[in-house]
Amino acid sequence: MKVASIKIYHERGVVLFVALIALVVMSLAAVALIRSVDTNTMIAGNLAFKQSAVVSSDRGVETALGWIEAKVIANLADLNSDSAANAYYATYLAPDLDNPAVLKADATWAAAAVATGPDIAAGTENLGNNIRYIIQRMCREAVSPENDKCLFGDTETGTGGKGVKDATEAGAIISAQQSPMYRVTVRVTGPKNTVSYTQTFVY
C-alpha cells in the first residue's frame, strides 16, 4: 500500500519583509523627531534673542531721559526746536514714526542717537545688541508748548520729575507744572538680526 506524500510549501522571507518595513517606519519617525527638536530649539533661541532685545531697549529709554532732563535743567527753550544731531524732534510729525514703512526704514535709524552707559560702545552693549533711539515731543508745531498744540502729562510734584504715562491719562488742561509729553522710540538690532521696536511716553 502506497501512501501519497503531500509537500507543504512554507512562505519564506515574510518576517524579514515585515521587519524591514517596521525599520523604515521607525527611521522616518526618528528623522521627524530630530527635525521637531531642531525646530523647537530654533524657536526657543529666537524667542531668547527677541526677549533680550526688548530688555535692552530700556537702556535706550534711560539715555533719552537723561538727555531730556539735561535740557530741562540747562535751557528748557532748546526743546522748542529740533536737534537732529541728538535725534530730537520738537514735533511728532517728522519723522512720521506712526507710518510702519518709515519706522522700519534703515534710513530713519541711520541718523538716530545711540544709547550710552556701562558696557555700551558705539550704541552696542556687551550682549551684541545695538540700541538706537529717537525722541519726539508730542506737539504739532515746533514752538513753545501750548494747550491746543501739545499733549501734556499729569501735574508734576517735582521740578525734574519724569515718568511713564498711560495714554488715557494724558491730554488734560495745562497747569503751571505740567510738561509736554515726549515719545521715545527705540530700535534694538540683535546679533542674529533680531529687530525690536518699543515706544515709551514720558513727561
Where exactly are the structural domains of the chain?
A: 14-202
pLDDT tens series, the chain, 203 aa = 555 555 555 556 666 777 778 888 888 877 777 776 656 555 555 556 567 777 888 899 999 999 999 998 888 889 999 999 999 999 999 889 989 999 999 999 998 999 998 888 888 888 889 999 999 999 988 888 877 788 887 655 544 544 444 444 444 444 455 788 999 999 999 888 888 899 999 88
Are 154 and 203 in contact by the 8 Å Cβ rule? The answer is yes
